[in-house]
Amino acid sequence: MITDYVPFDDAESAVAAGGYDRPAPNRHQSRSVVIAANGVVATSQPLAAQAGLDVLKAGGNAADAAIAANAVIGLVEPMSCGIGGDLFVIYWNAKSQKLYGLNASGRSPFQLNREVFRKQGLSQIPVKGPQAWSVPGCVDGWAVLHQRFGHKPWNELLDPAIQYAEQGFPVSEIIGRGWKAAEESLRQWPDSAKTYLPGGQAPAVGSIFKNPNLAGTYRLIAEQGRDAFYRGEIAQKIVAFSEQNGGYFNLKDFEEHTSDWVEPVSTNYRGYEIWELPPNGQGIAALQILNLLEPYDIRGMGHNSPDFAHLFVEAKKLAFADRAKFYADPAFGKLPTAELISKPYAEKRRALIDRRRAATNVPAGDPILQHGDTIYLTVVDKDRNCCSLIQSNYYGFGSQVVPGDLGFALQNRGALFSLEEDHLNRLEPHKRPFHTIIPAFATKEGKPWLCFGVMGGDMQPQGHVQVLINMIDFGMNVQEAGDAARIRHFGSQTPTSVPMDADGGLVHVESGVPQATVDALEAKGHRVKRAVGSFGGYQAIMIDPAHGTLHGATEPRKDGAAVGY
């Protein structure tokens, strides 16, 4: 058995008890678990985590703190997220003892259709520029979440972000490197360069960056609410910019934008109920992979062993083949979501896995989905309300386009539509595109257990599965479950119907994956590459059932922090 850590003797009981009665068994664990009694906030940037914690300490709840943290991180990590992007939430309400799902993703412009791209001779929507725009759903998502569950006034929630935008904040390391990589693209648009390239270049790590234009936009939202963005000055400026720069937005696109409360969907994995949101996102891919893997003795195989790594990659290929065909906006046609996440369907599909050989007839993927500049954050408050929130521009700085003096870039989610006539995810007016960003949640015996997510394009469902297996099968604590070396498969068909390879794709592994696993995978026909980066960004909070405390974790691959009180 190959393993990169020493497991608990009894993984199930270790998880149930919290697994923290002795030092972390993974010698590669990056930091201690953050343990607190009253509340925890975990984000990919420390200033955002602290802003959320301040809201909790001032009497706010998980919804309030998540909005405050998201507003700050939209400023301090602008390539990954912001009010030009979309948002999804899974929320556990302690009073009702129920989970709620929020789909705050935007729709394509009414004036944009497939004929526009046919006339240009394009088979795929460009990933940069105004043609990739869909209506940003973030601000409406904040408003809908706040209306139902929050109670702190808007000015209190947005004030930390406004202060940082006006007075400046120090650029952190990983964010700074991502900013630097986007310089050339941002220079193509004068307003983007003016906003994000002071002095003509990306701000250096450790330097102070200010965004007074975003401060002004946040003040309008604080004073006038979501209508400032969708019916007022902000919408008017975006539409005017669109009309002057080859975009397709009009005021109707913003005035008719709505977010939707949706029912989360789940599967049971070894006694834990794992919750995701239904399409247009890709969350159910994680449930499909778990269903495919559950009958196997994962623990007996060993962590990141050859047998496990092979099964994981093959299960992922099967789930993503379904993702390519069936994940789309359910408002435009009935989707077989319940069937896809059922145990009988998994049993049927599992028969296609060859334990001796890698499948090579699974279509390879669209390189678009290798990108994933996204933030995930999680909050649990003193009453045990839980907010699992993910928010994104899609590409780094989205479409690369900042509209005028508003201080934020518009997303490029529209690039994820297919231009094929018979595809469920085909571009149509006022339609939501397929989405990669997915929040997650897990319950045990009807009680909240884990509020978590893993950002990063098509790594997200793969990351969800690996984190859960690390905790449930291998008894890892909440921090080491995210620290442990990951595997990522590239090369599954995507919902954009891009031409496909036929070589089974490429398996990326981190340095902690044993060489014996790499050798064994290659012997089975996998193409394997050791790589850095592109393995996601994880945040999580576990509610310890034995002691009632909160155990927070954050991603060592990002600049993040988990903080509590």
Lowest mean pLDDT of 92-101, 372-381, 443-452, name the range: 372-381
Pairing of strands 527-530, 506-509: parallel
User: How far is the first Cα of the chain from the last one, in angstroms, to the nearest whole number?
Assistant: 40
Q: What is the pLDDT of residue 27?
A: 58
Q: What is the pLDDT of residue 365?
A: 31
Q: What homologous superfamily does CATH list for 11-37+262-369+436-564?
A: Gamma-glutamyltranspeptidase, small (S) subunit (3.60.20.40)
Lowest mean pLDDT of 105-114, 231-240, 402-411, 487-496, name the range: 487-496
Residues 479-489 have a mean pLDDT of 95
Q: Active-site residue 517, yes or no?
A: no
Q: How many CB atoms neighbour CB 555 within 10 A?
A: 28
| pLDDT at 399 exceeding the cut of 50 | yes
Q: What is the pLDDT of residue 136?
A: 98
Q: How many CB atoms neighbour CB 95 within 10 A?
A: 8
Q: What are phi and psi of 91, to 5 degrees?
A: -125, 125
Lowest mean pLDDT of 105-114, 354-363, 546-555, name the range: 354-363
Residues 463-474 have a mean pLDDT of 97
Categorize the per-residue pLDDT at 362 as very low, low, confident or very high, splitting at 50, 70 and 90.
Answer: low
Task: Give the domain ranges of the chain.
Answer: 11-37+262-369+436-564, 49-79+96-259+397-416
Categorize the per-residue pLDDT at 493 as very low, low, confident or very high, splitting at 50, 70 and 90.
Answer: low
pTM of the model: 0.92
Q: What is the pLDDT of residue 353?
A: 94
Categorize the per-residue pLDDT at 496 as very low, low, confident or very high, splitting at 50, 70 and 90.
Answer: low
Q: Say how many CA atoms lie within 13 Å of 551 toward its Cβ.
A: 27
Angle between helices 459-472 and 306-326 (to 10 degrees): 140
Distance in angstroms (rounded) separating the CA atoms of residues 461 and 250: 35
Average pLDDT value for the chain = 91
**pLDDT tens figures, 513-525:** 999 999 999 999 9
Q: What is the pLDDT of residue 510?
A: 94
Angle between helices 284-293 and 459-472 (to 10 degrees): 40
Categorize the per-residue pLDDT at 26 as very low, low, confident or very high, splitting at 50, 70 and 90.
Answer: low
Token pair for residue 264?
A: 């989360």
The vertex-266 CA angle with 446 and 17, nearest 5°, equals: 45
Residues 139-168 have a mean pLDDT of 98
| pLDDT at 330 exceeding the cut of 90 | yes
Catalytic residue among 43, 195, 267, 374: 374
Contacts 24+ apart (CB under 8 A), 230-234: 230/139, 230/140, 230/254, 230/255, 230/257, 231/255, 234/406
**pLDDT tens figures, 259-288:** 999 999 999 999 999 999 999 999 999 999
